[in-house]
Structure 1
Amino acid sequence: MASSVMSTSKTAPPAVSAVGLRKAYGDRTVLDGIDLRVPAGSVFALLGPNGAGKTTAVRILSTLIAADGGQAQVAGHNIATAPDGVRAAIGVTGQFSAVDGLITGEENMLLMADLHHLSRREGRRVTAELLERFDLAEAAKKPASTYSGGMKRRLDIAMTLVGDPRILFLDEPTTGLDPRSRHTMWQIVRRLVAGGVTVFLTTQYLDEADELADRIAVLNDGRIVAEGTAEELKRLVPGGHVRLRFSDPDAYRSAATALHDATRDDEALALRIPSDGSQRELRSVLDRLDSAGVEADELAVHTPDLDDVFFALTGGADVPHQTEENVR
């Protein structure tokens, strides 16, 4: 289930917007004129196969590399003409940890505080607060090289938050983490958004986008091929249906007559009716059963999941996994 998005007027300026964003490396076009709009206080997920250009999009929007064409604004600042304004408003956590394993977690945090020009007193206050918030206080004096993968990822994000960013770019934040650590990271993202932070997320996990994102954009061959909520995207592909099962053969036959468009399974006494899973269609099925004086013993609604959507929109490309872009 997606995180709750803060009430934002459609006329309010977005946290991140891009029009016609382009980037090529030699003769390889990585981004082919993409448009993006990310409402403030929401989680936006950019999903796509390896090599689709997800990391390139993050690098451009965070001013790490320049676009070849198009324009974008982040936190109200043009990324090309006001990069300092963008950098002051954002935090970026890449696929690979920025944690220095040779020093302690606390020292990593204090180093980041120095980079943000915080006073020594303020740096120590912010460091202590974030280490506590990310459940790292007990390990603060230990070398970061001794941390588990989940702890290093939490420290990485805590370091990013030293500058109190309004917009956070998370590029594959849970890659390589065990299920428990992934769920911990999801909780962190939800808390950040509840506190007013906008999160721009790229992910290799379809369930992660489904769980966290208020809106999802599917990137394939350098283009946005679909965008919407998880539920809206799931309705784009066929395969949704309502399954009814009966224990009484007579009731089954009566239902099959009433629901003439159903696919029959005479052995299981089950009917399968095409449906987009909407309340309107479900009500229609139940009304037709009521009219026939029949009640099903079991009713199940199946809607396509993001796996179905991904394969349909990307032409069977591999589901994103483990390593991000083979190009950039």
Structure 2
Amino acid sequence: MTIQQLQERIKDAAARGATLDIHGHRSKAFYGQPPGGEALDISDFSGVTSYEPSELVVTAKAGTAITELEALLAEQGQHLAFEPPRFRGSERGRGTVGGMVAAGLSGPARATAGSVRDHILGLTLINGRAEAMNFGGTVMKNVAGYDVSRLMAGSLGVLGLIAEVSIKVLPRPVASTTLRFEMDQVQALRELNRWGGLPLPIQASACWDGALILRLAGAQAAVTAAVRSLGGETIPQDLALPFWEGLRDQSDEFFQGAERAVQGGARLWRLSLPQTAPVLHLSGEQLVEWGGAQRWVTSAQPPAQVREAAAAAGGHATLFRALDKSPGTFSPLSAPLLRIHRELKKSFDPQGLFNPGRLYPDL
């Protein structure tokens, strides 16, 4: 598959007045509102087109499997520091580079490494007029023009087809240790906020079911000193690695339980809050990540109550998984923000070809 073939497919859809459902391995088909339109499978548009380990930059086509890209980076001792979740896709793989950017989701290390958006250097986008547009560049110091590349992170493909992406990569940490502490969410949030003001190499955290798990990563001396300072129970690497991988890919015990609850009519919420926000007294199971900034809640509580609680704490709530998404996946936009979203959609996709309604009903 080539960019020209993708452009022809878009031109054909525009001529017929059809809409397109852009997808790769469909690992994130559950996310956002239900897909609609004719399927446009880009999984054959794959491959790494450029990789400069010394420059810490890789460029890959949108259909490239994340696992394939990470295997290449691992050969050079590098990785995607923001740990994008790969979920479970089709038999062909788990998650693609294009879907990674379109969903804008990050894993356990996001609080320290930054988000997907922070690591995008440039991309090629095919807009609703079937024009291939290049934004950004392939060097970290490229700051010319509007930062359209990062605008695509989290857009769920409603602005155009992400064809190719240039990403900043980083060396893997030299040392890593996982610690476990017995403490409830109140204690965990208090300690995480206190430790956040200290020079500690805390890379990731997770609090659930009366335990706080920390991952320390960095120079060996820094990790060793932090272990002595923090205490806790050291978790062997052969147990720690599957835990963090499961948390990243949302396949661990908490998310398995959440999936069962969703099938029973509950909802899985993703709450984005200030790290200093207190415990939210919502019904159901909760898992806290990112030092308190990301909180997962499995609950049958009315959606309006969950969103009100998140807003009162200074954040917002996303309906991540549910059988019924009629309450809307994302928090309603204010009038000014909705106007901006509509103008962006009109500019990039004037005929409304791409992923109609996936982000918001009229976008």
- Normalised to the residue count of structure 1, the TM-score between the two structures is 0.25
Higher relative contact order (CA 8 A, sep 6+): 1
Structure number with bigger Rg:
1
- Normalised to the residue count of structure 2, the TM-score between the two structures is 0.23
